[in-house]
Structure 1
Amino acid sequence: MAAQRLGKRVLSKLQGSSRARGPGGSPGGLQKRHARVTVKYDRRELQQRLDVEKWIDGHLEELYRGREADMPDEVNIDELLELESEEERSRKIQGLLKSCTKPTEDFVQELLVKLRGLHKQPGARKLSPSADGSLSPFQDRAL
């Protein structure tokens, strides 16, 4: 019981001090504005893309097991989607896998099938943070 009374006293003191500061807890009654980041891509599409990326990583690990140093740094999905035909995509993928000693035909064919369901993300270029503080294409400011 004594603990309950102590808790009530502490709680009332905390509430009293926040009332003195004004709404939002800031002096003078000004409310703090919270920044928001909005997402402008379809959640389902992003999930499909993430699934394909995980699939690629898993299969590359299998293909290059024991020879991880030879594994390509990246299989850029957007670069593959920019290519006009599946033949060009197939050649690009095979070029990335040229150091692999295991058969890669099944991987290439499965990846081509998975790419058919994906769309290139608008503005999907890799940008480094600029010195002027401008936003990358993946960031959006709430007004």
Structure 2
Amino acid sequence: MKESNHEKKGGKLPEKVIRIDIVKVDHGRKKLCQCKEPHYTIDYVNKIVWCDDCGAIVDPLDALHYLATHYERLVQQTENLLKQRQEIANYKPHLVVIKELERYYRKNKFSMVPCCPRCGEPFDLSEIHSWSNRRFLKSID
């Protein structure tokens, strides 16, 4: 066992005094996680947080402070999710063919017109004057 400064100076500690020297404080260390935009994972069972980018264990209060002071990342991600949700809500697979037809048909000097699936001849959409129910589509072929 190491001698304390008190013992080195010639003094002896009383026998009933218990020395506690198992904990040392190192004030010169830097934080383990130095990531600029960290991504955290929370381990709820063990009550720890770690950085997915560098793997360092992060103090939960530090992680909460980072999220509170850098809330614009959360706002941006929320806006992206809402935009994606709107795109999914607006997606109508049954209209894909119609949208493609419209894109090709737009009136300009390079616009395209569809071709008849039976004879292959091009025709203008304005030539369509009648429609039939989809139920009868199979019976025609």
TM-score relative to the length of structure 2: 0.22
TM-score relative to the length of structure 1: 0.22
Higher strand share: 2
Larger Rg over CA atoms: 2
Q: Structure with the greater relative contact order (CA < 8 A, sep ≥ 6): 1 or 2? A: 1
